[in-house]
Structure 1
Amino acid sequence: MAAGEVIERPASIIKELLENSLDAGATKIDVSVEQGGMKSIIVKDNGKGIGADDLPLALASHATSKISNLYDLEHVQTMGFRGEALASIAAVSRIQVISRTPDTDNAYQITNEKTVTAAAHPVGTTITVRDLFFNIPARKRFLKTEKTEFAHLSDWFKRLAFANPSVAFSLSHNGKTIYRFPIGAENYENVRHKEIFAGDTEEQTTFIDETRQGIRLWGWVGSPNIASTQANKQFFYVNQRFIKDRLVVHAIKQAYADVLYGKRHPVFLLHIELPPEQVDVNAHPAKQEVRFHQGRLVHDFIYSALHHALAQPKSQTLIDDTPIAQSSYRSEPKIQPQNQELPYRFSENRTNTSGNSTPRFTDSYKHNASGRGSLAEYQLLPQSYSTQPITDKAIGAEPTEQTNNDSQPQSQPLGRAVAQIHGIYILAENREGLVIVDMHAAHERIVYERMKHHFHDNNIITQKLLVPLSVELSVEQIEAVENEGELLKQLGFTLDFTSPTHIALREIPAILSNRNAEQLILSVLEQLANYQGKNASDEMVNPIIGTMACHAAVRANHKLSLSEMDALLRDMERTERSDQCNHGRPTWTRLTIDQLDSLFLRGQ
């Protein structure tokens, strides 16, 4: 089991000593360091201690009390088990170990000289490490500045503290307390959790807790809105052991793929619990990577749990906790394109309670006579794409007086639209206060989600162009047409070559009938050219559908009626991942009544 454990920097020592304290059953661990840990590191715990007879063995290589046979090795439940850590630390520093067990009246200590002597100490262990690399000048020269070394050290301190809410932790640097994490689960979210997510954790995080085939996954995933430019707020634990595993990273990246774009990294704190025999923790010298015996099961479980959690719009939590149905659009009836003569239309008229006939619409928005542009300027999808009708009660007639906030139905967490400002944002009122929606971003996500489902069902409605459009292509775009003709047809494009460098575009997706067809097909072909040689996977197709959705979405400066705005809000509430647009930007935010009051100093 010799892994050749190497002490690289003070952070390596903190990791090993804290893991030993946790294995000893400590409920309180205090860490004190000087000069970033390069001068001294002191770790004190109240664990079960080390007996006087075992102290010499504690500093010996490959001596451990944590495993005694092959069964123990195959069912490892401790952080350490190789017996290398203390010996490696003692080889590069001046070390002192003082310990006392519960069944003895005296404590004992040992140093590098390996002579055991009596000492005064409560039950538990204190390990002091001084003058790191004093005997290896070449290694010492590779240490960074005090600030950098302490940053690495505190990272490991937090990784272990976040995984053990039943243990109180404290860390001081040069005599100043940096972190103090009280014991108890009630302090987990209040103190340790906020250290990761910061700000309003309730709105920016989603708690998950799922079990499948004896494997439990629980913890918090951060909203894409708080994604970081660095991957330093990612905490994943296997049986409370912090790991960085490629299989886990891939599953989490896939789950975030549809809501996080660019070079941003998700923020999460996740625990996976499974029988110890189902995971090999001896696969990496520093035990930071593991090997799952059922890797595919673990990967798919992590992906599906996070994918479903991220699909739930946060608007659903404003009033009730009822989640939207997962993949609700897949239950739609098959569409017969040949019967679709007018892709955008109202439903039949219905008579409201006042006796006036008002047009009903499902996912098509009512035309505002005072607005600019045609009805097709602002449509979600053809009526047959609808998942459930938006009733008169949901959209309401245009109000003639201010809406009473108390009348907001439970099923409308985003509330009722009250205004549109600068042709960009929708203002809505709900029970909590004011909701502000970026209408283009929100509409873009709605169209994108629906087009995805209809693409996978081979069900994208197309519309023939009155006159075929001649488009000149580059060499790369020509290759894309030749190699991906079937995919283009699935996406709703019908075209053929009229010359070696020109195509005739004959059909496009109906939802895009009023957009610049030439610009659209060139954008799609340019993306296809970038994916040449790859299979038509979601990783390849989804960005293309996202481009199409961006073209289809309502543009800025388009005036909407209140009914159109309400219809958009209702669709947001039942659309997966509607909190972010296709580019990962937020689609809405809110100001509570308390926040509004504070702006005007009310109650102060």
Structure 2
Amino acid sequence: MPVRALPRVLIDRIAAGEVVERPASAVKELVENAIDAGATRIEVVTAGGGQRLIRIVDDGSGMSPEDLALAVERHATSKLPGDDLLAISTLGFRGEALPSIGSVSRLAIATRAAGAEHGVAIEVDAGAKGAVKPAALTAGTRVEVRDLFHATPARLKFLKTERTEAAAVADVVKRLAMAHPDIAFTLAGEDHQPVTYAATADFGQRLAAVIGADFADNAVAIEAERERVRLTGRIGLPTFNRGTGQHQYLFVNGRPVRDKLLVGAVRGAYADHLPRDRFPVLALFLELPPREVDVNVHPAKAEVRFRDGGLVRGLIVSAIRAALERESGRATSSNGTAALGLLARSAGAAVHHAAPAAAWDWRASPAAPAAAPGFGEVAQAAFASLAIPSADARAGTAPPEPDALDRPLGAARAQLHETYILAQTRDGVVLVDQHAAHERLVYERLKRERAASGVAAQMLLIPEVVELDPADVERLGAKADDLASLGLVLEPFGPGAVLVRQTPAALGDTDPARLVRDLADGFAEWGSEIVLERRLDHVAATMACHGSVRAGRRLQPAEMNALLREMESTPNSGQCNHGRPTYVSLKLADLEALFGRR
């Protein structure tokens, strides 16, 4: 078959398939153009999930007639002043967005540069470019995309429902709004309830507006720097988590990304705090010199490649762990709110069920005055019929020590259902799950012992040969010393194999070949020995779970207070090894409001 040059329109549509996967992709490209144009206000309007209409209006620098005519040509851009692709300081630089969108839709652009007498406009219909014409417009640019993919109907079959596509558009706007708090964003149209993110110099205020007030109340500030790589943002407490990773917002030099190295670093940092099926909520912003990161590895610029991935990963993991340890005794405030909600609903249900019947005789009430005839017999029968669960009600046997009331977790006053410790603070109460709390204490102690004395290793009676890809052998060899410190001793055994001489004793009767292959896969994907560390931490967590104070064990007051004091001095005591909260704190004012006392 002979080689032929493809028609220009077909080339543009192929490029559109890479750049514009769905309406949200078009919105992302167009909003990034507005940001790069220096806009201070950006309005996004959609209809039909973005398939029927996308309108982006900004107050940026605008374009001259000559620039507008060139902007819809392939590989034409104002965002790359030189030819150095390693020094990119803008969000868009490929010069493919506008011609790609115009090749599969009806595209109309109206713009007016600052100081120009009037605006100009151009239309592109399925790749056919019209002439530049005068237009009435204030300063800035208005871009309208109608009937997206009408030139490629087959692509329409792959779009989701209008609601799903509209949600993807909203997510794009949210991420860009988080990265640029100094710009006001408005999202409107038939797909959305109008929402505006006002421009602000307060980064935390923008995050609260976009992610929600709950996140602001349950987030920890993070800031770290290492070798010209700076990390800032907010990370959610481990007990403030979600069932998917969609609430992890990651940015590199102001660019929203979904990069596997960053995702892996976050997962590794939270490995001690969350189970595998739960994900933290966070917004992390990475800033580094443009030459240290390649943003040209993905058509939609969703992934990046770092010159020193190990440095970036190590910075993220260490910064997150340090922040979590700094706030280790803090529990999610939403736990107390949820508890109050449950109590309020329970109280409402109790009031409902206690409503008097029409034929009710007040003299039969347990609350009747003592002088009422027959009260004693009725009251005794009423109380005898109540099936109240047992509780160790020793709250008043020993008065709390005054200094204990000022402690974060207060003074133990009772053990309820032989499972929960009720503690009193100066301004409220604390309810502690004794098993979950002790599980975290034992786990942290095992980790400290491992760090102090090293990981015990067991020598294999017969060393095992594991065949691997030569690249995997090289990666394992580069980490041999680190692996040996974790109890796994490997030796090269030819170009495509390693010899396993020792394995961590804590893993017990493990399969050396499977362990090494898992490590090799982890190194290939994440570039770290975190896989083996996780295996050891999992063993420690299991040992902690089975060696902790179990639910149903009755504790003495001294034991309960000792547990509270140790929780206050132990890192990450706000949640157990599985990510569940270890305690719930309720303020006295909340309880008074619950009972109508204020």
> How many angstroms does 1:562 deviate by?
2.1
Asked if the contact 1:31/1:170 (under 8 Å) is kept, the reply is: yes
CA drift of 1:459 comes to 7.5
Q: Is residue 245 of structure 2 the alignment partner of residue 231 of structure 1?
A: yes
Q: List runs of 5+ in structure 1 lacking aligned partners.
A: 319-370, 373-397, 462-478, 485-489, 492-520
| Aligned equivalent of 1:36, options 40, 46, 49 | 49
> Alpha carbons of 1:460 and 1:418: their partners in 2 closer, same or farther (altered >3 Å)?
farther
Question: Structure 2 vs 1, CA of residues 531 and 445 (structure 1 numbering), >3 Å: closer, same or farther?
Answer: farther
1:167 alignment partner in structure 2: 183
Identical residues among aligned pairs (%):
41
For 2:537, the equivalent position in structure 1 comes to 542
Contact 1:281 1:290 in 2 (8 A): yes
Question: What is the distance in 2 between the residues matched to 1:430 and 1:234?
Answer: 35
Q: CA deviation at 1:316?
A: 5.8
Letter in 2 for 1:98: A
1:13 aligned onto 2:26: yes
2:185 corresponds to 1:199 = no
Normalised by the size of structure 2, how large is the TM-score?
0.72
2:325 counterpart (311, 325, 328)? 311
Contact 1:423 1:559 in 2 (8 A): yes
SS in 1 for 2:114: coil
Deviation string for 1:344-398 (max 9, x for gaps)? xxxxxxxxxxxxxxxxxxxxxxxxxxx99xxxxxxxxxxxxxxxxxxxxxxxxx9
Q: Name the CA distance, whole Å, in 1 between partners of 2:138 and 2:268.
A: 50
CA gap 1:228/1:528 in 2 versus in 1, 3 angstroms: farther
Q: Is the 2:411–2:561 Cα contact (8 Å) retained in structure 1?
A: yes
Give distance in 1, aligned partners of 2:154 and 2:454. 66
Q: Which residue of 1 aligns with 2:269?
A: 255
Whether the aligned pair in 2 keeps the contact of 1:226 and 1:267 (CA below 8 Å) is yes
Displacement of 1:193 in angstroms is: 2.6
- Once residues 198 and 305 of structure 2 are traced to their aligned partners in structure 1, the CA distance between those partners, rounded to angstroms, is 33
Q: What's the offset of the Cα at 1:532?
A: 4.7
Change (3 A) 1:550 1:175: closer
Q: 2:4 maps to which residue?
A: none
CA shift, 1:560, in A, is: 1.6
**CA offset digits 1:218-260 (Å, max 9, x no partner):** 1111122222111110100011101111211111111011111
Counterpart of 1:362 in structure 2 is none
Q: TM-score, normalised by structure 1?
A: 0.72
Structure 1 SS opposite 2:66? coil
Residue 286 in 1 paired to residue 300 in 2? yes
Whichever residue aligns with residue 91 of structure 2, its letter is M
Which residue of 267, 287, 309 maps to 1:295? 309
Q: How much has 1:531 moved relative to structure 2?
A: 6.2
Residues 390-424 of structure 1, C-alpha deviations (whole Å, 9 max, x = no match): xxxxxxxx9743565xx5576x3222222211111
Partner in structure 2 of residue 346 of structure 1: none
Q: Cα distance 1:137–1:200, how it changes in 2: closer, same or farther (>3 A)?
A: closer
Query: What displacement does 1:171 show?
Result: 0.7
CA contact (8 A) 2:200 2:206 kept: no
- For 2:439, the equivalent position in structure 1 comes to 444
Q: Secondary structure in 2 aligned to 1:53?
A: helix
Q: In the alignment, what sits opposite 1:576?
A: 571
Query: Contact conserved, 2:331 with 2:584, CA < 8 A, in 1?
Result: no
CA offsets per residue over residues 449-487 of structure 1, 9 Å max, x none?
1112212333899xxxxxxxxxxxxxxxxx999989xxx
User: Residue 42 of structure 1 aligns to a residue in which SS?
Assistant: strand
- Kept in 2, the 8 Å contact 1:313–1:578? The answer is no
Provide closer, same or farther for how the CA distance between residues 299 and 524 of structure 1 changes in structure 2, counting only shifts above 3 A.
Answer: closer
Q: Does 1:129 align with 2:145?
A: yes
Matching of residue 101 in structure 1 with residue 119 in structure 2: no
- In 1, the alpha carbon distance for the partners of 2:533 and 2:148 equals 50
Distance 1:229 1:176, change over 3 A: closer
Give the residue type in structure 2 aligned to 1:105: E
Residues 1:459 and 1:115: Cα distance change in structure 2 (over 3 Å): closer
Instruction: Specify the SS of the correspondent of 1:418.
Output: strand
| One-letter identity of the residue aligned with 1:457 | A
Equivalent in 76, 81, 90 of residue 63 of structure 1: 76
- Give the match for residue 256 of structure 2: 242
- 1:425 is aligned, of 420, 440, 445, to 420
Query: Alpha-carbon deviation of 1:32?
Result: 0.7
2:559 maps to 1:564: yes
Within the candidate set 110, 117, 120, 2:133 is matched to 117
1:86–1:294 Cα change, 3 Å: same
CA 1:531 to 1:136, structure 2 compared with 1: closer, same or farther past 3 Å?
Answer: closer
**Do the aligned partners of residues 565 and 530 (structure 1) sit closer, same or farther apart at CA in structure 2, a change above 3 Å counting?**
farther
Shift of 1:529: 8.9
Looking at structure 2, the residues matched to 304 and 236 of structure 1 have their Cα atoms a distance apart, in angstroms, of 17
Q: How many angstroms apart in 2 are the aligned matches of 1:154 and 1:317?
A: 31
Note the alpha carbon deviations across 1:531-564, whole angstroms, 9 max, x for none. 6546793221111111111121111121222221
Q: Quick check: 2:166–2:192 contact (8 Å CA) kept in 1? A: no
Distance (Å, rounded) in 1 between the aligned partners of 2:157 and 2:314: 45
Equivalent residue letter for 1:77: S
User: Aligned partners of 2:209 and 2:559: how far apart in 1?
Assistant: 39
- The separation in 2 between residues aligned to 1:124 and 1:572, in whole angstroms, is 57
| Residue identity matched to 1:217 | L
Correspondent of 1:270 among 267, 284, 289: 284
CA offset digits 1:142-190 (Å, max 9, x no partner): 222111111221111111111111111111131753421111034x544
- How far residue 57 of structure 1 moved from its aligned partner, in angstroms, is 0.6
Q: Secondary structure at the match of 2:90?
A: coil
More helix by share: 2
In 1, are the aligned partners of 2:197 and 2:209 still within 8 Å (CA)?
A: no
- Gap regions ≥5 residues in structure 2: 1-11, 333-390, 465-484, 487-504, 520-530
- State how many pairs are aligned: 470
224 and 440 in structure 1: CA distance in 2 versus 1, 3 angstrom threshold: same
The amino acid of 1:22's aligned partner reads I
Residue from 573, 583, 591 that aligns with 1:588: 583
User: Displacement, 1:192?
Assistant: 3.8
Query: Is 2:231 aligned against 1:217?
Result: yes
Tell me if the contact between 2:48 and 2:191 (Cα under 8 Å) persists in the aligned partners: no
Q: Superposition pairs for residues 137-176 of structure 1, below 5 Å?
A: 137-174=153-190
Note the aligned Cα RMSD (angstroms): 3.3
Letter in 1 for 2:453: N
Do the aligned partners of 2:408 and 2:425 also contact (CA within 8 Å) in 1? yes
Q: Is the 8 A contact 2:111 2:140 kept in 1?
A: yes
